[in-house]
Amino acid sequence: MRDTEPTAGREARDEERTATDDGTRPHVAVVACGGTIASEPDDDGAAPAKSGDDLVAAVPGVERHATVSAREVCSQPGFDVRWRDVLATAAAAREAVADGADGVVVTHGTDTLADTAFALDLLTDLDAPVVVTGAQRRLDEASSDAPANLTLAVRAAADDRFAPGVHVAFDDELHAARDAVKGHSNALSTMTSPGTGPVATFTRAGSRLVREPRRGVDADPLADAIEGADRVPEVPVIHSGTGVGAGAVDRALDAGVGGLVIEGTGLGNATAAIGDAVGDALPELPVVVAGRPPAGPTEPVYGTPGGAVTLAEHGVTFAGPLPASKARVALALGLAADLDRERETAAGGALVDLFRAPESA
């Protein structure tokens, strides 16, 4: 959707959107995964305790936008989400849509919310909106953002314009799962999309598309090709920076990891020591190179042993604009689905396809 399109074509009021073909309100399924939005205080520190039904009951205004049901997948803090939780969330979203839901909301801890949202984009390709949300402040805290974010997510999930791909709903904005990152440890506006901006913005009454909603990866969904969480290999992220040697790469190889993500500097460069170690690891071990800057691509420009030109000659895969955290998600899930680095497989596509954004995304 180009910015030259008339504004009237991109704006919509909720009452114009939230109705099914028979005139009834759409059905949105909430898939609860814990996080701050579900947490309660305790002498030992806050922890998830509220169910999906508890969250829906605490925000009665959501019923104006959709009929809402809830189911639990897990009750984890965002910093301790496991692969089995991610795969179960994808399965729950697929089941909800198969059972007739018009949209899905996933409630999740913000620490890894962006990771899970992108994982869902890789794992699924549903005909209904999937919207991930959470909160920076618990429901019991002053000025909690939980009610506003859950209401926003339900509004977006009830709007079929957002069916392509997975989105993140936070602070009156909707972000593409591929682009969204947590940008601040406790600010309410924590979710941002460096380099692209939000897909849509919301007011009390309606919404405005900023760019076209779409799935953030041009590859077949991976869920059916992954037999279980035990198939997801260990993929460490190795940080390059001033004075970093090859020790972390060597230790990872000794540990028998499934692949490596190098968080390079600038356009995807690394120290000479890392570059040499990566050259020795390839082609047996898949290596993906991401960049440290919060926005911008990775691409081979510089030579020398750790420069991206040399890394490309070794055979690394560049993550494009994906941050290292999401490059790790894509590599781990792609390996779990038995994707080959270059050749298409029965699972559909090659591993490198997971790092290529759709042309107009």
Catalytic residues: 36, 110-111, 182
Strand order in the sheet with 260-264: 237-239, 260-264, 287-291, 317-318
Paired tokens of 39: 């947490």
Integer Cα distance of 26 and 103 in angstroms: 8
Angle at 183 between CA 179 and CA 188, to 5 degrees: 110
What are the φ and ψ backbone dihedral angles of 343, each rounded to 5 degrees? -95, 150
Amino acid 156 reads A
Tell me the torsion sign for CA atoms 93, 97, 99, 101.
positive
Integer Cα distance of 177 and 169 in angstroms: 10
Paired tokens of 169: 């709903």
Integer Cα distance of 13 and 188 in angstroms: 24
Nearest in space to 140 (alpha carbons), one of 269, 74, 49, 53: 49
What are the φ and ψ backbone dihedral angles of 275, each rounded to 5 degrees? -55, -45
Determine contact, residues 207/176, Cβ cutoff 8 Å. Answer: no
Query: Where does the chain have alpha helices with state H?
Result: 14-17, 52-58, 83-98, 113-123, 146-157, 247-254, 272-281, 308-314, 324-336
* 238 beta partners: 262
Integer Cα distance of 237 and 240 in angstroms: 10
Determine contact, residues 68/56, Cβ cutoff 8 Å. Answer: yes
Token pair 């020398």 is found at 304
Longest dimension (CA), the chain: 64
